[in-house]
Structure 1
Amino acid sequence: MSSDLKRDATSLLQRQAQWLDHHQLQPRITECGQVVSVGDGIAWISGLPTAAIDDLLSFADGSQALVFDLNQKLIGAILLHATERLTAGTEVSLANLKLSLPVGPAMVGRVIDPLGLPLDGEEVPEAELWQPLECPSATITARDFVHHPLYTGNRIIDTLIPIGRGQRQLLIGDEGLGRSSLALDTLIYQKDQDVLCIYVMIGQRRSNVIDNIELLRRYGALDYTTVIVAEGSALPGLQHLAPFAGCALAEYWMHQGRHTLVIYDDLSTHAKTYRELSLLLRRPPGREAYPGDIFSVHARLLERATCLSAAQGGGSMTALPIVETNQGEIEAYIPTNLISITDGQVYLDAALFSGGFRPAIDIGKSVSRIGGNAQHPAIKHEAGRMKLDYLQFLELEVFTRFGSRLEASMEKAIRRGRVLREILKQERLAPEPIRFQLAWMIAFNEGMLDEIEPDRISPLLLKLSQRLQSADELELDSPREQWQHQVADWVHQAEASDS
């Protein structure tokens, strides 16, 4: 053996001897709990005296749970993953981890569950970082005013109920009125808008989940969208965590300086799931059997949607929560809670839907409290009194049912109102660019459509949209005179072709 090797070996032996001289043997203490009972997505556990709320638990059979309730003798945990071998007597230990979601570019275009596991048959997405599902919302000093619009492609919303990036706008109405369709239209329109989207489906049927995913794939929306699914057959704990997982992913991109849109479909189901878990954990029920903290749960979730200041990267998270009403009862517990938390609501009415007005948005009950601050000046100028005029038309139209003669000014107002009502009708999955919204508003405000029969409005608008697509020189900032002159020519040409 060479002298160098002998010297290295001697040095190693000396270091090991020094370590042994100072090493003290001590017992290693770890906590070990035991499952007392399990069922309905809930596990009651004894032991684990240092466990805290939201701690992850590991079971000897491979199951996972989250500490959800603490009392003097037992721990109540919601199951996140349960094997068939999970039963009373199974050993439980603290995982010493906080519940987190893998985040990064690999998440775009994927369908995952609230834990980040793939549901699309592909490999587990590669995580750039791990984002906690629960974290404090941005401070006041880190926020900025909502100042940039988020366009939806919908004529009513983009003009009369505008949404800004960083806003929380509630979609509310009875089942079957098109709340999810309106949200999907908005998501599809974000293509080439530099907005990353997260679509969260909570407690839905598998067939409905598959249909929505195929719809997004058909329109190319999966290229910028992550779908988080906790279907109706999933554990209640996963359904509860689904919106927080979507929020965590959107929050990560927001702090990277990106603009994001997250859709929660829907928070009524989420509230029912939370009520189920709370009752199983024997928490005292409150109004409509919901636990007293249901308001804080949704507030904690939606308050994280905001627009960050330039010093924080300038990113934004826009939230579109969906909530269901029962027979139009907007004053119910969960809807009123969410209305008080959000920055406005888009209300869909069953009577309008039955009357053929699609989307069935009730303009009188819909409001956007801060979206007007983000509207482009040209759009804001043209929208002006349009909402008020339309609501006045609806009141005047009631008098026509009695067959009485009306003044000429009232007849003109009613005729213009009926034209506007036809303009505001829009087919599903047909979002339209904001330039088109400006074009039809100018045509309406200048009286170019007053003499056109309502049944001819739809084909005329289609021709107007087709001609606008080739007019690259017209932008929102172009002079109004240029817009007015060009739109007048297009309307005249469209009328001439019809005749």
Structure 2
Amino acid sequence: MPRDPETDWLSAAQQTLDTMTLSPRAAHRGRVEEIGDGVAMISGLRDVGLDEVLHFSGGQTGFARVLDPDQIGCVLLDGTTQVEAGDAVYGTGTVVDVPVGAGLLGRIVDPLGRPLDGKGAITADTRMPIERAAPAIIDRDLVTEPVQTGVVVVDTLFPLGRGQRELIVGDHSTGKTTLAIDAIMAQAHSDMICVYVAIGQKSSSVRRAITALQTAGNFDRCIVVVASAASAPGLQWIAPYAGMTMAEHFRDAGQHALIVIDDLSKHAATHREIALLTRQSPGREAYPGDVFYIHARLLERAAKLSAALGGGSLTALPIAETVAGNLSDYIPTNLISITDGQIVLDAALFHQGQKPAVDAGLSVSRVGGKTQAKLLRTAAGTLRLDYAQFLELEVFTRFGGMPDGRVRSQLTRGARIREALRQDQHTPFRLADEVALMMAVQAGLLDAVPTSAVAAFRAGVPARLDQQAAAQVQTITDTSTLDDTGHAHLLDVLNAYAETFAVQP
């Protein structure tokens, strides 16, 4: 007699019910009241904590940003097209976290650690929350080790140290990102791991930056976190915190890391947008009152740890954009007061062809010579003072008149200094190249070289050193020192090289 399929199904269902343990289950459930522009107002979740991850019935996620007595302001981390008023929302009891570890190296990810490069899933050591407390004062050490950026004007005039926070600030399209990318490229042969965070940037700009990093040869020691202009505001908001957490993992393991945040002006604008949509009280320029705090708590996480904690370091290069060179604007002044110095890029210098367009008068490193390589500091000597005097004298000589011999020599030397400080993008110099260039300038070897030929001299220094002073280059690379014999030999090589460019009488 054939078996009845319906009877078999009922029998199987009965067996399943008999083996099930039925018990009550609690779930934190709320309801979407309003939705728009990446922000959802939710009711019914009274026990949700600040920054707690929330799940929507359609599969989207967000985090609680504002906790009012009657409603919760939730910032979505995905698109809003599938979220509607009336949808169910569930609390998770966890905060936003990201994967960390060596599995992220060489990868391009979004602020949640999801891969964007098509290379498969991320293999992470663990996951850590994006919001972490900054190291206590007692856990920090002095900032004394240099960070060689490969940019001559920075390394000689405004040296950076491991654990420092140096702001790069300037108008739109003045080379801020290029300067930061050059600093990352210069770490190709160092022990520093680099994290580049792009916030609200155009896809074409991000693509150019990634291409430059990939051609530098050290991309396998880099992590790129991308929250483009087309990303949800929530992703743009958490991007710098996610990148900082990824970099902190290496710092806490006793390694050294460098993070570039490009840029915090756009992050502040996103914070203002979210604050206004969640009905927070606006303050100056419509920014909420905590706009200083969100950046202070972020950048304070960059530090040099004490030897007891492994001696690791995290150096931060945040970027900010000004309008018409106005450094007294709200966000730039906030960031200047938080960081340990600023590198100011001037639009006028940029359009005159002085690249990098660093304003030597407004830029400063508040750590300064304490971190500069001693050999480079000796070679540079009074370079900054000489250059400042040249810029002042140059202004006065524009009014006419024939300067005396001493002033003419200062103008001659200053013009060579300015040319020596120029540098093509994505061509970082080694420490030995910078030392040699400064020795040539300060010893007056370029005074007889036409100003128009200094660029060719500067570009040819690395190859000439490799050919005729390879032992000295290796010594400088290994020990950052040079004895008297090596110093004399290096000067002879530079003098002979400069004579090939000098004007013959």
Tell me the TM-score normalised to structure 2 length.
0.91
Is 1:346 matched with 2:343? yes
> Residues 369-408 of structure 1 correspond to what in structure 2 (within 5 A)?
369-408=366-405
Q: Residue 473 of structure 1 aligns to a residue in which SS?
A: helix
1:389-439 CA-partner distances (Å, limit 9, x unpaired): 111111111222122122211111111111111111111111110111111
Counterpart Cα distance in 2 of 1:163 and 1:153: 11
Name the stretch that deviates more: 130-139 or 456-465.
Answer: 456-465
Partner of residue 491, structure 2: 487
The correspondence for 1:94, drawn from 91, 94, 112, is 91
Please name the residue that 1:263 is paired with.
Answer: 260
1:312 counterpart = 2:309: yes
Q: Which has the higher mean CA deviation after the structures are superposed, 308-317 or 212-221?
A: 212-221
Code of the aligned partner of 1:487? L
Provide closer, same or farther for how the CA distance between residues 25 and 327 of structure 1 changes in structure 2, counting only shifts above 3 A: same
Kindly provide the amino acid, as one letter, of the partner of residue 427 in structure 1. Answer: D
Taking the aligned partners of 1:325 and 1:47, their CA distance within structure 2 comes to 43
Aligned partners of 1:299 and 1:468: how far apart in 2? 44
Q: How far apart are 1:38 and its partner, in Å?
A: 0.9
Q: Distance in 1 between matches of 2:45 and 2:457?
A: 71
How far does residue 458 in structure 1 lie from its aligned partner after superposition?
1.7
Contact kept in structure 2, 1:203 and 1:232, CA below 8 Å? yes
Partner residue of 1:153 out of 150, 155, 160: 150
Is 1:298 the equivalent of 2:295? yes
Task: From the superposition, tell whether residues 304 and 416 of structure 1 become closer, same or farther in structure 2 (CA, over 3 Å).
Answer: same
How far apart are residue 103 of structure 1 and its match? 0.9
Instruction: Please state whether the residue corresponding to 1:391 is helix, strand or coil.
Output: helix
Cα displacement string for residues 280-305 of structure 1 (whole angstroms, at most 9, x for unaligned residues)? 01111111111110000000100000
Deviation track 1:442-488 (CA, whole Å, cap 9, x = no partner) reads: 12222222222111212222333212124332123112453234223
Name the CA distance, whole Å, in 2 between partners of 1:188 and 1:60. 44
Provide the TM-score with structure 1 as the length reference.
0.92
What is the SS of the residue equivalent to 1:73?
Answer: coil
Asked if the contact 2:105/2:223 (under 8 Å) is kept, the reply is: yes
> For 1:137-186, what per-residue CA distance to the aligned partner results, in whole angstroms no more than 9, with x for missing partners?
01111111111100111110011110011110100000011000111111
Measured in 1, the distance between the counterparts of 2:102 and 2:399 equals 62
TM alignment of 1:198-213, pairs within 5 A = 198-213=195-210
Inter-CA distance 354–83: structure 2 relative to 1 (3 Å threshold): closer
**Structure 1 residues 36-435: aligned runs within 5 Å:** 36-82=33-79, 84-435=81-432
Letter paired with 1:421: R
CA–CA separation in structure 1 for the residues paired with 2:496 and 2:391: 29
Identity of aligned residues (%): 44
Q: Is the Cα contact below 8 Å between 1:448 and 1:488 reproduced in 2?
A: no
Partner-residue secondary structure (3-state), 1:191: helix
Q: Which amino acid in the other structure matches residue 105 of structure 1?
A: A
- The answer to whether the Cα contact below 8 Å between 2:436 and 2:490 also exists between their aligned partners in 1 is no
CA–CA distance in structure 2, aligned partners of residues 313 and 42 of structure 1: 41
- Find the counterpart in structure 1 of residue 454 from structure 2: 457
Q: CA deviation at 1:382?
A: 2.6
Q: Partner letter of residue 71 of structure 1?
A: D
SS in 2 for 1:456: helix
- AA aligned to 1:274 is H
Say which SS state the counterpart of residue 81 (structure 1) adopts.
Answer: coil
Deviates most, 97-106 or 218-227: 218-227
Relative distance call for 1:71 and 1:42 in structure 2 (3 A) is same
- Separation in 2 of the partners of 1:200 and 1:290? 23
Tell me, in whole angstroms, the C-alpha distance in 2 between the residues paired with 1:255 and 1:322: 24
| 1:35 aligned residue | 32
Helix, strand or coil: the match of 1:68?
strand
Please give the alpha-carbon distance, in whole angstroms, between the structure 1 residues aligned to 2:461 and 2:57: 66
The one-character-per-residue Cα deviations of 1:9-65 (angstroms, maximum 9, x if unpaired) are xxxxxxxxxxxxxxx997443321111111100011001111111111111111111
Q: Secondary structure at the match of 1:431?
A: coil
**Mean Cα displacement is larger for which, 205-214 or 30-39?**
205-214
Give 1:472's aligned residue: 470
1:302·1:319 contact (CA, 8 Å) conserved in 2?
A: yes
For 1:134 and 1:302, locate their aligned partners in 2 and report how far apart those are by CA, in whole Å: 12
Shift of 1:212: 1.9
The runs of 5 or more residues in structure 1 that have no matched partner are 1-23
Q: What secondary structure does 1:89 align onto?
A: coil
- Does the C-alpha gap of structure 1 residues 251 and 493 become closer, same or farther in structure 2, counting only changes over 3 Å? closer
Structure 1: distance between partners of 2:139 and 2:320: 29
Q: How far did residue 381 of structure 1 move?
A: 2.2
Write the distance in 1 (CA, Å) between the matches of 2:498 and 2:442: 18
Q: What does residue 18 of structure 1 align with? A: none
| 3-state SS of 1:358 partner | coil
Read off the aligned partner of 1:478 and give its amino acid letter. Answer: L
Distance 1:417 1:221 in 2: 36
> Does the 8 A contact of 1:460 with 1:491 survive in 2?
no
Q: Is the 8 A contact 1:364 1:391 kept in 2?
A: yes
Task: Give the 3 Å change call, closer, same or farther, for CA 211–447 of structure 1 in structure 2.
Answer: closer
Q: Which moved more, 1:321-330 or 1:51-60?
A: 51-60
CA distance in 2, matches of 1:216, 1:224: 10
Q: CA deviation at 1:246?
A: 0.5
Note if contact 1:460-1:495 (Cα within 8 Å) is conserved in structure 2: no
| Per-residue Cα deviation, 1:304-351 (whole angstroms, up to 9, x for no partner) | 001111111111111000000000001000000000000001000011
Return the alpha-carbon distance in structure 1 between the equivalents of residues 114 and 56 of structure 2: 19
Q: Distance in 2 between matches of 1:216 and 1:347?
A: 23
Higher mean displacement: 81-90 or 251-260 = 81-90
- Write out the 4+ residue segments of structure 1 that deviate beyond 4 Å after TM superposition: 24-27
Alignment check: 8 A CA contact 2:254 2:310 kept: yes
Once residues 207 and 428 of structure 1 are traced to their aligned partners in structure 2, the CA distance between those partners, rounded to angstroms, is 18
**Structure 2: where are the runs of 5+ without partners?**
1-20
Is the 8 Å Cα contact of residues 111 and 238 (structure 2) preserved in structure 1?
A: yes
- The amino acid of 2:155's aligned partner reads D
Question: How many residues are aligned here?
Answer: 476
